[in-house]
Amino acid sequence: MVDIKGIIAPIITPMNADESVNYDELRVQIDRLIGHGVHGIFVFGTNGEGYILSEDEKCEIMKTTVEQVAGRIPVYASTGTNSTLDTIRLSQKAKDIGVDVLSIITPGFAAASQDELYTHFKTVAERVDLPIVLYNIPARTGNAIAPATVGKLSTIDNIVGVKDSSGNFDNILQYIEHTRAQEGFAVLSGNDSLILWTLLAGGTGGVAGCSNVYPFTMAQIYEQFLAGDIAASRQYQDSIRSFRDCFKFGNPNTIVKYAVAELGFPVGKCRAPFNQLSDQGFEALRRVIADNQSHGMK
């Protein structure tokens, strides 16, 4: 079993001008993130545009990532779909490819009861012998995993953690409270602003979109916390505020990809139609990146 901890980078999926996946640049980004200290690579999550990639592309991205990471840190893959059977099929492919951990998002669009969500996750866990991290992002899927449901699921051997991207810190606290009896169960923040506070509350880290732009800074939130220097950890946590303020100009993963491109990496844009940023937003983003660079953020 893998320790689910630290700063896990939901790596962007680099694209060529024709919107095909740029696998060579994906390898570059993997090495860049690992070189700056992230603790896991998470492929085709929200920041990796998993919502718009084909299954064949996802399999090739997993193969490329597993090969490039080469065991240095764990590889996570977002294999959840709206169908239980499709989720099982993609998850089994991920296992065959060599992924270390699965992230299973709640099914979306159609409303799901807590009993339906429980049965969905339980069935996948029984059919795929890999560690599973549940993924709660109700703003995107329309379905939220209740803390009591997470507590029930935490008793299943290979359901080993949950990532919460609700933005509601009390929800994270309740996840921790409902899973405390399960030794080693990991609660991760999916909101980059809440990583330190999640750690202080008993969580184990975060899946941090900002780590695509500032991998060292994000990794240090965890490393300084681990070293017992809470003041330093908070300085790193606070330093991403100006960048996150740019999210008001558009879709956050679009902003993140624009920012990585602004740093000089040929990662392309997000796939259409989710790839536009206003002139006002782009200029604000450029100012923030330049200011952060002048302060040594990386």
- pLDDT averaged over 10-residue windows placed end to end, the chain, 298 residues: 94 98 98 98 96 97 98 98 98 98 96 98 98 96 97 98 97 98 96 98 98 98 98 98 96 96 97 96 97 95
The pLDDT score that the predictor gives to residue 1 is 75
- Helix then strand count (H, E) for the chain reads 13, 8
Give the DSSP letter string of 91-152: HHHHHHHT-SEEEEEPP-SS---HHHHHHHHHHHHHH--S-EEEEE-HHHHS----HHHHHH
Tokens 């449901």 locate to: 149
CATH 3.20.20.70 fits 6-229, yes or no: yes
Contact 49, 58 (CB under 8 A): no
Query: CA 153 to CA 158: how far, in whole Å?
Result: 10
Cα 23 to its chain centre, rounded Å, is 19
Cα 43 to its chain centre, rounded Å, is 8
CB environment 166-199: b (16+ within 10 A), e (fewer): beebebbbbbbebbeebeebbbbbbbbbbbbbbb
- In 3-state terms, what secondary structure has residue 210? helix
> Which residues are known catalytic residues?
135, 163
Task: List 134's β-bridge partners, or say none.
Answer: 104, 162
Q: 132, 107, 129: which is closest to 120 by C-alpha?
A: 107
Contact 241, 212 (CB under 8 A): no
* 193 Ramachandran zone, left/alpha/beta (phi>0; psi -120 to 50): alpha
pTM of this prediction?
Answer: 0.96
Task: List 104's β-bridge partners, or say none.
Answer: 134
